[in-house]
Amino acid sequence: MGFALPILVFCLVIALMAGDAQRHSSEYVRVAVQQKLPDQLAADMLRTADAVNNWRHGRTLSDGPVTPAQTGMIPAPDSRIKSVILSNRLWIWVPATDGVFTALRNQSMTSALALTVSGGRLLMADGTDMNLALPSGVTEGSVVYLN
C-alpha cells in the first residue's frame, strides 16, 4: 500500500507531460499550416498564370472567366483563386489572405505584376495606382497577379 501514492504521483506527472507535448505539437502544426497556406496560394496563382497564358497562346478570346478545366490544369489550383481575361489582360486574384502578397512577391521575384486592392483601386507594392478598372468579383484587400 505504501507504493500507491508514489505510483499515482508518477502517473499524474506522465499524464501532464503527455498533455503538454500534445499542446506543443498542435501549436507546431497550426503555425506550419499558417506559413504554408500563403506560399501554396501564391504558387497556385503563378501556376494559373502560366497555364492560362499557355492555353490562350494563338487563340482569340473574348472577355470572361477562365477555369482550370478550360486550361487542363492538373491538379486544379485552390478554389479561392479566380481568373478572368478583361481587355486582353489576365487577372488572377485571391481574396484578402494574410501573407499571400508577400509570398507572391517573393515567388515572382518581386514582380511589378503582384498587386493589391485598396480603397477600390489596384495598387503596386510602392502604392502607385494602376488606374485600371477592377473586374467583377475583385474585392477590397484582394491580392492580384496581372498579366
Smallest CA-to-CA distance from 42 within 124, 116, 139 is with 116
Instruction: Classify burial at 26, counting beta carbons within 10 Å of its beta carbon; exposed 0-12, middle 13-18, buried 19 or more.
Output: exposed
Strands 64-65 and 143-146, bridge-based pairing: unpaired
* Amino acid symbol at 142: S
Model pLDDT for residues 10-63, shown as the tens digit of each residue: 766 676 666 666 665 555 555 554 457 999 999 999 999 999 999 988 888 789
Q: Among the listed ranges 7-11, 82-86, 131-135, which one has the minimum average pLDDT value?
A: 7-11
Model pLDDT for residues 81-111, shown as the tens digit of each residue: 999 999 989 999 999 999 999 999 999 987 8
At residue 110, the pLDDT reads 76
Q: Which H helix or E strand runs over 71?
A: helix 68-71
CA angle 55, 60, 65 (to 5 degrees): 60
Helices (H) and strands (E) in the chain, counts: 3, 6
Measured between alpha carbons, how far is residue 83 from residues 48, 97, 112 in Å? Answer: 8, 17, 18
Distance of CA 70 to the CA centre of its chain: 21
